[in-house]
Amino acid sequence: MVVHQELEKLNIRNAVVDLGLVEILDDIMDEHRQLLKENLLKTGLELLDDKKSILIEKIKNAVTEMIHYSESLPKENFSDYISEKLGYDYTYLANTFSEVKGMTLQHFIIINKVERVKELLLYDELNLTEISYKLNYSSVAHLSNQFKKITGLSPSFYKQLKQKRLKNLEDL
């Protein structure tokens, strides 16, 4: 909504707004581009107009959508999924991502998967075996190892911490 409002203020009508992406179909004046950039920054948003930054955002959105918003993860390799979704060779995507973000795309995917595990543990609807199956881990041990590597905690200890926090809140 913020982006729509800013575009309207500048009388930019021919634009397609999607999650994390705005495609302006007409040429706009440099002054309008600069104003849009400044106004978006005031609201905590950023205008990306170089090809690498745009590609990185598309990669991040594809990973986020795949891990956090899909009911089930694709059965194919993540690399195949991302490559197919974005229409680029995975090696190119991975190299560009590493160059710009300073971490591998694989590590970014693992971090997102661990964040999803945390969410699912907090919902308390699935056990660890079900979570590992849902997120396409080869085993509960593999999930646990990645979780501990990223958070420093085992999934069961993380869940216990959550339960202790909730109990302490109830005691207030």
Assessment of whether the complete model's pTM goes beyond 0.75: no
Distance CA 39, CA 33 (A): 10
The band of 167, judged by pLDDT with boundaries at 50, 70 and 90, is: low
Nearest to 22 by CA among 41, 43, 4: 4
CATH code that applies to domain 52-171: 1.10.10.60
What tens digit of pLDDT does each residue of 87-140 get?
999 999 999 999 989 999 999 999 999 999 999 998 888 899 999 988 989 999
C-alpha distances (whole Å) from 123 to each of 5, 117, 118, 128, 131 are: 35, 10, 9, 12, 11
**CATH 1.10.10.60 domain extents, the chain:** 52-171
Tell me the sheet residues that pair with 23. Answer: 16
Helices (H), 10-139: 30-42, 51-64, 78-86, 90-101, 105-123, 128-134
Retrieve residue 14's tokens: 């021919």
Residue 136, number of CB atoms within 10 A of its CB: 15
Could you count the other beta carbons within 10 Å of the beta carbon of residue 154? 14
Q: What is the pLDDT of residues 13-69, one digit of tens each?
A: 777 777 666 777 777 778 887 888 888 888 887 776 678 888 998 999 999 988 988
The mean per-residue pLDDT over the stretch 150-161 comes to: 91
